């Protein structure tokens, strides 16, 4: 699902208006989940359980740990949304398929 979120942010490049300004990734993540599931309670429940599972796997995969830093759930190592936007811009510039970036083994 991380690749889906990064891809959705890639698709928004140049399309963000004043109503879609997100100050942090957790706000963007909530909007993504709300759009995906449609009902706020369902979106919150899936989002919470997904983030808990990411915390469990973050020590095994640096990509998950980085995403948790973007969301602000990696201790004191949180990264601002501007850095996430820069990260997305870098991915776009490399023309790497986002899904491949998050599914191939990097060890």
Confidence band for 19, pLDDT divided at 50, 70 and 90 = low
Please list the helix, strand and coil fractions of the chain in percent, rounded to the nearest 5, in that order. 70, 0, 30
Give the model confidence (pLDDT) of 20-66 as tens digits: 555 567 778 888 888 888 899 998 898 889 889 988 988 888 888 98
**How far apart are alpha carbons 85 and 107 in whole angstroms?**
25
- Please report the pLDDT score of residue 103 as a whole number: 79
Per the domain annotation, does 31 fall within a domain?
yes
- What total number of domains does the chain contain? 1
Residue 68 lies in domain: 2-12+23-103
DSSP code at position 47: H
**Domain-embedded: residue 74:** yes
At 107, is the pLDDT very low, low, confident or very high (cuts 50, 70, 90)? Answer: low
Query: What is this structure's pTM?
Result: 0.76
Q: What is the per-residue pLDDT for 83?
A: 86
Contact 2, 64 (CB under 8 A): yes
Residue 17 in any domain: the answer is: no
Q: For the segment 68-101, what is each residue's pLDDT rounded down to a tens digit?
A: 898 888 777 888 888 888 888 888 888 888 888 8
């Amino acid at each position: 699902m991380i690749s889906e979120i990064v891809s959705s942010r890639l698709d928004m490049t140049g399309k963000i208006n004043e109503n879609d300004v997100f100050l942090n990734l957790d706000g963007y993540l909530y909007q993504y989940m709300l759009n995906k599931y449609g009902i706020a309670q369902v979106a919150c429940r899936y989002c919470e359980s997904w983030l808990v599972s990411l915390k469990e796997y973050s020590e095994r995969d640096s990509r998950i740990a980085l995403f948790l830093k973007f969301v602000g759930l990696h201790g004191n190592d949180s990264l601002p949304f501007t850095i996430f936007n820069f990260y997305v811009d870098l991915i776009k510039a490399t023309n790497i398929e986002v899904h491949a970036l998050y599914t191939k083994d990097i060890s």
